[in-house]
Amino acid sequence: MTGRRLVYMDHAATTPAAPEIVEAMLPYFTERFGNPSSIYGIARESKAAIDTAREQVAHAINASPEEIYITSGGTESDNWAIKGVAYAHRKRGKRIITSAIEHHAVLHTCQYLERQGFEVTYLPVDEFGRVSLSALADAITDETILVSIMAANNEIGTLEPIADCARICRERGVYFHTDAVQAIGSVPVDVRAQDVDLLSLSAHKFYGPKGIGALYIRKGVRLDNLLHGGSQEQRHRAGTENLAGIVGMGAAIERAVGRQEEYARRLTSLRKRLLSGIMERIEHVRLNGHPTERLPGNLNCSFEFIEGEGMLLLLDHAGVAASTGSACTSGSLEPSHVLLAIGLEHATAHGSLRLTLGESNTEADVDYVLEALPPIVERLRTMSPLYADYRRSCNVQ
Amino acid sequence: MTGRRLVYMDHAATTPAAPEIVEAMLPYFTERFGNPSSIYGIARESKAAIDTAREQVAHAINASPEEIYITSGGTESDNWAIKGVAYAHRKRGKRIITSAIEHHAVLHTCQYLERQGFEVTYLPVDEFGRVSLSALADAITDETILVSIMAANNEIGTLEPIADCARICRERGVYFHTDAVQAIGSVPVDVRAQDVDLLSLSAHKFYGPKGIGALYIRKGVRLDNLLHGGSQEQRHRAGTENLAGIVGMGAAIERAVGRQEEYARRLTSLRKRLLSGIMERIEHVRLNGHPTERLPGNLNCSFEFIEGEGMLLLLDHAGVAASTGSACTSGSLEPSHVLLAIGLEHATAHGSLRLTLGESNTEADVDYVLEALPPIVERLRTMSPLYADYRRSCNVQ
Amino acid sequence: MYSEKVMEHFMNPRNQGEIENPDGVGEVGNPKCGDIMKIFLKVKDDRIEDVQFQTFGCGAAVASSSMATELIKGKTLEEAWDLSNKAVAEALGGLPPVKMHCSVLAEEGIHKAINDYRVKQGLELWKEKPGASHAHADDACEI
Amino acid sequence: MYSEKVMEHFMNPRNQGEIENPDGVGEVGNPKCGDIMKIFLKVKDDRIEDVQFQTFGCGAAVASSSMATELIKGKTLEEAWDLSNKAVAEALGGLPPVKMHCSVLAEEGIHKAINDYRVKQGLELWKEKPGASHAHADDACEI
Ligand SMILES: Cc1ncc(COP(=O)(O)O)c(C=O)c1O
Ligand SMILES: Cc1ncc(COP(=O)(O)O)c(C=O)c1O
């Protein structure tokens, strides 16, 4: 990439840590490195730093500090919430409900539990990727112990009605977990107002470091521990604390939630510019996800007749970092389960492109992509037998 | 502590990250932050950085890179190894063998499995903390699926005969896991020569960052995943990679293993100076752990008639950071299970002090501790009714 | 972890020592749990003229002994009997939850010393109030 | 991820296009799995005078088409038939394991185009060697 323009539009995959966040973390690697479980000076300082970070996380989602448990990221939080409730309550029931468009950290965890004898319902979603509340209500039985519905989808950006889901679960006495990994910093999250029991978050999605996250566990919710060992995290999550990471997460969530409104406003405007620019310049494009109820920075489109990986490679060549729902690096050949769940044909799903905006992006970036993309799509279409067939069929008519 | 001398002698709890390690990590927070699962330039760079780190870890323990799976630390590695084998092989048998002196990450995991219907044998140890090979051989039955014995004990520093344990397990067709968290960088570790199937390590014990570790899984060993989700780590450990942490761990293990011999030599000599100084200056002291087969930097002594926390507080006041096997911050009142397992009386166990040396320590540090400690012990003894009783009993005689 | 007050009392314990020929002695706790407290009383006209302690235990145990003895010095035996563990903990600016038993130990030590005095004086024993907390029930180190 | 050679062929594909009135055409793959390859042949004197391809698919699919067509251009039909997917992958400096099926697709596409030519010429079909690999068995996208 050296010397070339880099337009990073894959903020849903990960964000860079903000320089001031790294700055805040630095002392905790080398100087303030004490193990918070010890009692001497630098250990007490570590303990205090963790307490502060825990308060920052709690404050950001309107929880109490004792309800925040630090983990190694969104995946661990999702695994813990789901397996933890499943194992603790299996005597009461073995049914779990989730949606068809969850992140793999939820889906594969549920599939693992199915192999352990649990029964999982995967709620379908509509063409915009929204779960239906009545379908949820219908799916709950006496044996249902947990419902897990994500706050915002990582691929198509659709926001789920989690407050409504939580209300239904509360009425039926079922725990409600939400994967809010993509939501934090982009849309308001309030565990009290939304009345959720468990919530997952991950720092690297809001300009904090990777490898650190948290699980909110409402006071009184009972679940098995996932990692056993020392008595860290109020005896619920063992392991020497990732001190610098925790400090970084605390600082990053405070920063992100503080600027959330402005962030959302700015990204929404950039996204609209990007979408209308694409629609003006390129034919046979489909917007994936909800037109308005979506993450401010998320744009996901399918370009008919072409495949996503080729787009990514050519965009990369042009200095644009993006992502696709096509099965390129995943080691599977099936396209994204999310795109199939909203009803896309396989070929259309393979032709999807996800552009996720973030702090670094400017109107100039958007305009740059709008210049770079049309010839790329054109070039791949020229190469595509599907496009040739389509053209032939038009000429015939 | 400001302006005061700080002698850090709690390296077994955690080590500071070496400045050059932090230096190596820095670019991966802000510039080279790409998600390694993506395919554009900065993502490929991330992938390459992880590959390098994996090779560094593999090389350090004489494994192949594909046998190294990155985790969030020693606790996760221990949990994964033990639960992973237990869950994958429970049809074959439900018996696990470990020792009575393992770290809580192993012991509490085993206890959790006991609640899930597994049977765990906790091998006793001798007065020096060594497991008996014949006891191990006797304990293995047809239903035994896993043996987990630590390479080096974190409290008393005793080295376990893991190559011999592994040989017995190999002969009996049982998987052998070793928690080598304390061993890496201090004593030679070689998974081929020692013939272990699974090995846990954690970067913050060898001057790397906290919150990152690895599990070595010999090719062909079958175990369930612990964290389900994305297809990271050859589909065996999900979660966006802690990129900076991984780079730090790779650099740190290369550094640590490269200087291991010199490190061991230097710390052994410091430890001997410390031990003989203590023995010369203070009466009624007992050395805990093996006199020679121990971690170079580990010194653990019991001071009769006094309790450990008081020593720590006074040492802290003198600028010395140390640790105890007394039940101070652990939230339990029972002293260390390790000290009890080697046969200490409760009161003696409560009076233990662990001083663990590391890179920063000098002879001057040792001499400083040798000056600071005797009056502290004296002071606490003056306060102690046990010491008064003892004195009275001597006078009576 | 500890309040400043706790640290201050731990670093500079008041009334630490032994009274020769005390009028009452109370020893509580056990080595298993890592804390033993011994309270010595000198009593004159039903009043605690002097009090000293010896403690094997953690910082909170030492600080609790120090504070408790300070609080009963010069008081009548009745007043001293009424000193609750909570009052000790409060006077110390609070104790960590896992350390509350140390203040209980101090209360118990004082009670035991007072009753030892009363036995020696040929007086009947005072009874613990119903529901009084115990530092270590039956030798088990539960908290 | 990809070798330089793969990227070079992806960025500058050889023989990409359509042949009007081809002597043989082969289309393989399916949209479900995300790759479709179409091979057009111009044959003269049992020799591949021209070959062109169209591909819907990932970088490896495009590069495999490009390389495979390059390798058979000017060759006899027999020689072209004998081109194995491994030879294509090797010529590309290797393919990631999950992308090997792309080279298989290229081999299959060529075979299909050759047999299409043979059918049109009223010749019998050539048979796949036993044990030949298939890119997508039965419409399932296994790899
Ligand atoms: C919605 C969602 N859930 C969970 C995760 C997993 O988080 P992490 O990669 O931090 O483990 C991600 C991102 O990778 C995500 O987007
Ligand atoms: C022997 C041993 N095992 C496991 C662990 C757990 O490692 P971590 O704290 O990195 O999770 C430690 C240290 O805490 C240890 O000393």
Q: What are phi and psi of A150, to 5 degrees?
A: -70, 150
Q: Which residues of A touch B39 (CB under 8 A)?
A: 309, 312-313, 316, 328-329
Q: Which ligand is nearest to the CA of A199?
A: 1
With beta carbons less than 8 A apart as the criterion, state whether C95 and C56 touch: no
D and C in touch (3+ CB pairs within 8 angstroms): no
B154 CA to centre of ligand 2 in angstroms? 8
With beta carbons less than 8 A apart as the criterion, state whether B347 and B284 touch: no
Return the pLDDT at D139. 46
Shortest distance between the Cα of D27 and any Cα of chain A, in A, equals: 9
Q: Is the dihedral of CA A49, A51, A54, A60 positive or negative?
A: negative
**Percent of chain A beyond pLDDT 90?**
94
Pick from A358, A368, A366: which is nearest to A318 by CA? A368
Return the pLDDT at D136. 58
Q: Is the dihedral of CA B328, B332, B337, B342 positive or negative?
A: positive
Shortest distance between the Cα of D2 and any Cα of chain A, in A, equals: 10
Shortest distance between the Cα of B234 and any Cα of chain D, in A, equals: 12
Please judge whether C58 and B333 are an interchain contact, meaning their C-beta atoms are less than 8 angstroms apart.
Answer: no
Query: Would the pLDDT of B1 be above 50?
Result: no
Query: Would the pLDDT of B2 be above 50?
Result: no
- Ligand 2 neighbourhood includes B242 CB (under 6 angstroms): no
- Two tokens, residue B394: 């001597």
Please judge whether C36 and B334 are an interchain contact, meaning their C-beta atoms are less than 8 angstroms apart.
Answer: no
D10 CA to centre of ligand 1 in angstroms? 31
All residue ranges of chain D with pLDDT < 50 are 137-139, 142-143
Catalytic residues of D: 33, 102
B274 residue type, one letter: L
pLDDT band at B325 (very low <50, low <70, confident <90, very high): confident
Pick from A156, A148, A9, A152: which is nearest to A79 by CA? A148
Helical spans, DSSP H, in D12-76: 59-72
Query: Would the pLDDT of B138 be above 50?
Result: yes
- Two tokens, residue D90: 């090797």
pLDDT band at C138 (very low <50, low <70, confident <90, very high): very low
- Tokens 């062109």 found at: D52
How many whole angstroms separate alpha carbon B296 and alpha carbon B18? 19
With beta carbons less than 8 A apart as the criterion, state whether A6 and B40 touch: no
pLDDT band at B395 (very low <50, low <70, confident <90, very high): confident
Give me the mean pLDDT over the A319-327 stretch.
Answer: 89
Taking only the tens place, the pLDDT of each residue in C31-68 is 888 899 999 999 999 999 999 999 999 999 999 999 99
C13 CA to centre of ligand 2 in angstroms? 36
Q: Which residues of C touch A44 (CB under 8 A)?
A: 1
How many whole angstroms separate alpha carbon A35 and alpha carbon D52? 65
Q: Is the dihedral of CA B338, B342, B344, B348 positive or negative?
A: negative
Query: Would the pLDDT of B186 be above 50?
Result: yes
pLDDT band at A397 (very low <50, low <70, confident <90, very high): low
Return the pLDDT at A2. 43
D115 CA to centre of ligand 2 in angstroms? 64
Give me the mean pLDDT over the B75-93 stretch.
Answer: 98
Give me the mean pLDDT over the A56-84 stretch.
Answer: 98
Return the pLDDT at A331. 52
Lowest mean pLDDT among A364-368, B12-16, D128-132: D128-132
For chain A, domains (ranges, CATH) are 7-14+259-393 (3.90.1150.10), 19-258 (3.40.640.10)
**Order of strands, sheet of D35-44, starting from the edge strand that comes earlier in the sequence:** D24-30, D35-44, D47-56
Return the pLDDT at B332. 57
- Ligand 2 neighbourhood includes B158 CB (under 6 angstroms): no
pLDDT band at A329 (very low <50, low <70, confident <90, very high): very low
Return the pLDDT at D135. 63
Give me the mean pLDDT over the C2-11 stretch.
Answer: 96
How many whole angstroms separate alpha carbon B232 and alpha carbon A362? 31
pLDDT band at B223 (very low <50, low <70, confident <90, very high): very high
With contact defined as 3+ CB pairs under 8 Å, the chains touching D are: A, B
A305 → chain D, closest CA residue: D56
- Ligand 2 neighbourhood includes A239 CB (under 6 angstroms): yes
- Give, rounded to a whole angstrom, the gap between the first and last alpha carbons of chain B: 46
Which of C1, C33, C56 has the CB atom closest to B305's CB atom?
Answer: C56
Taking only the tens place, the pLDDT of each residue in C80-108 is 999 999 999 999 999 999 899 999 999 99
- Ligand 2 neighbourhood includes B15 CB (under 6 angstroms): no
Please judge whether A230 and B31 are an interchain contact, meaning their C-beta atoms are less than 8 angstroms apart.
Answer: no
- Which residue out of B202, B294, B338 has the highest number of ligand 2 atoms within 8 Å of its CB and is therefore the one to mutate? B202
Query: Would the pLDDT of C134 be above 80?
Result: no
Please judge whether D55 and A384 are an interchain contact, meaning their C-beta atoms are less than 8 angstroms apart.
Answer: yes
Number of neighbours of residue A258 by Cβ within 10 angstroms = 12
Report the interhelical angle of B41-61 vs B243-258 (nearest 10°).
Answer: 30
- Two tokens, residue A342: 């909203």
Q: Which residues of A touch C1 (CB under 8 A)?
A: 39, 44, 47
| E strand or H helix at B19 | helix B19-25
The residue annotated as part of the active site, out of A165, A301, A328, A394, is A328
Please judge whether C56 and B313 are an interchain contact, meaning their C-beta atoms are less than 8 angstroms apart.
Answer: no
B339 residue type, one letter: L
Taking only the tens place, the pLDDT of each residue in A231-278 is 999 999 999 999 999 999 999 999 999 999 999 999 999 999 999 999
B43 → chain D, closest CA residue: D1
Give me the mean pLDDT over the A185-198 stretch.
Answer: 98
pLDDT band at C1 (very low <50, low <70, confident <90, very high): confident
For chain C, domains (ranges, CATH) are 4-120 (3.90.1010.10)
Taking only the tens place, the pLDDT of each residue in B36-75 is 999 999 999 999 999 999 999 999 999 999 999 999 999 9
Shortest distance between the Cα of C140 and any Cα of chain B, in A, equals: 9
What residues of chain D have any CB closer than 8 angstroms to a CB in chain A? 1, 7, 10-11, 13, 16, 18, 27, 31-38, 54-59, 61-62, 98, 101, 136, 141-143
Return the pLDDT at D31. 85
Which residues form the pocket of ligand 1, taking CB atoms under 6 Å from any ligand atom?
A: A 73-75, 78, 103, 105, 150, 154, 179, 181-182, 202, 204, 213; B 239-240
Return the pLDDT at D128. 85
User: Beta strand pairing status for B198-202 and B144-148?
Assistant: unpaired
- Two tokens, residue C86: 């909570």
Mean pLDDT, chain D, rounded, equals: 92
Q: What are phi and psi of A213, to 5 degrees?
A: -160, -170
Helix, strand or coil, per DSSP, at residue B348: helix
Q: Which ligand is nearest to the CA of A230?
A: 2
Which of C18, C34, C54 has the CB atom closest to B333's CB atom?
Answer: C34
| E strand or H helix at D117 | helix D100-120
pLDDT band at C129 (very low <50, low <70, confident <90, very high): confident
ipTM of the complex: 0.94
Please judge whether A30 and B17 are an interchain contact, meaning their C-beta atoms are less than 8 angstroms apart.
Answer: yes
Shortest distance between the Cα of C10 and any Cα of chain A, in A, equals: 14
Report the interhelical angle of C59-72 vs C100-120 (nearest 10°).
Answer: 50
**Percent of chain B beyond pLDDT 70?**
97
Pick from A80, A95, A219, A202: which is nearest to A151 by CA? A202
pTM: 0.95
How many whole angstroms separate alpha carbon B36 and alpha carbon B245? 14
Catalytic residues of C: 33, 102
Give Cα D52 distance to the centre of its chain: 10
Give Cα C54 distance to the centre of its chain: 10
Interface B–D counts its CB contacts (< 8 A) at 3
Taking only the tens place, the pLDDT of each residue in B90-115 is 999 999 999 999 999 999 999 999 99
Query: Would the pLDDT of B292 be above 50?
Result: yes
Give me the mean pLDDT over the A269-292 stretch.
Answer: 98
Is B393 exposed, middle or buried (CB count within 10 Å of its CB: 0-12, 13-18, 19+)?
exposed
What residues of chain C have any CB closer than 8 angstroms to a CB in chain A? 1
Is A193 exposed, middle or buried (CB count within 10 Å of its CB: 0-12, 13-18, 19+)?
exposed
- Two tokens, residue A146: 């947990």
B328 is catalytic: yes
pLDDT band at C143 (very low <50, low <70, confident <90, very high): very low
> Mutate which of A5, A14, A71 to disrupt the B interface (most B C-beta within 10 Å)?
A14
- Ligand 2 neighbourhood includes B75 CB (under 6 angstroms): yes
Return the pLDDT at D142. 45
A239 CA to centre of ligand 2 in angstroms? 7
C and B in touch (3+ CB pairs within 8 angstroms): yes
Return the pLDDT at A1. 39
Query: Would the pLDDT of B331 be above 60?
Result: no
What torsion do the CA atoms of A14, A17, A21, A25 make, to the nearest 10 degrees? 100
Helical spans, DSSP H, in B116-258: 133-139, 162-172, 232-235, 243-258
Give me the mean pLDDT over the C131-142 stretch.
Answer: 56
Q: Is A316 on the interface with D (CB under 8 A)?
A: no
Give me the mean pLDDT over the A204-220 stretch.
Answer: 98
pLDDT band at C128 (very low <50, low <70, confident <90, very high): confident
Q: Which residues of C touch A47 (CB under 8 A)?
A: 1
Shortest distance between the Cα of C139 and any Cα of chain B, in A, equals: 11
HEC sequence for chain A: CCCCCCEECECCCCCCCCHHHHHHHCHHHHCCCCCCCCCCHHHHHHHHHHHHHHHHHHHHHCCCHHHEEEECCHHHHHHHHHHHHHHHHCCCCCEEEEECCCCHHHHHHHHHHHHCCCEEEEECECCCCCECHHHHHHHCCCCEEEEECCCECCCCCEECCHHHHHHHHHHHCCEEEEECCCCCCCCCCCCCCCCCCEEEEEHHHCCCCCCCEEEEECCCCCCCCCCCCCCHHHHCCCCCCCHHHHHHHHHHHHHHHHCHHHHHHHHHHHHHHHHHHHHHHCCCEEECCCCCCECCCEEEEEECCCCHHHHHHHHHHCCEECECCCCCCCCCCCCCHHHHHCCCCHHHHHCEEEEECCCCCCHHHHHHHHHHHHHHHHHHHHHCHHHHHHHHHHHHC
